[in-house]
Amino acid sequence: MKPNPIFLSISTAVAGLLAYCNFSIANSEQALVLAIGSFIMLSITLGTAMGTSFEAERSGVSVKIIAFVFFFLSMITNLVFAFTGFSNPVFIITNGLEFLLFTFIAYGIFKTNQ
């Protein structure tokens, strides 16, 4: 796995803008928690999808597809949290499970090296 600094910085900036969008939509006291959690999850998934290249092409494409799927899943769940009231533990557990599941699947695919 090799990071591409230009695409990685662009994807991080896009994730930051989307996190700010979630922050501005949420009209609750948990808006800052939502923005930070959104930024972390969106930057990791979009950075993996856009900002990295893989030596093994097949597993690299599979990891990128999984990263895009989890990016859109994270965007949808964070928008749901932005439009509805939520408690911090529910948000942290949901995003944590999404992150761990993404990491588990991406690591499994990456280790196959096909």
pLDDT (0 to 100) of residue 86? 86
Distance of alpha carbon 25 from its chain centroid, rounded? Answer: 19
In the chain, the number of structural domains is: 1
Question: In terms of pLDDT, which residue wins out, 20 or 112?
Answer: 20
Which structural domain range is residue 6 located in? 2-112
CA distances from 71 to 2, 62, 98, 113 (A): 20, 14, 10, 23
Task: Give residue-wise pLDDT tens across range 53-82.
Answer: 888 888 889 999 999 999 999 999 999 999
Judge whether 91 and 30 are in contact, CB under 8 Å: yes
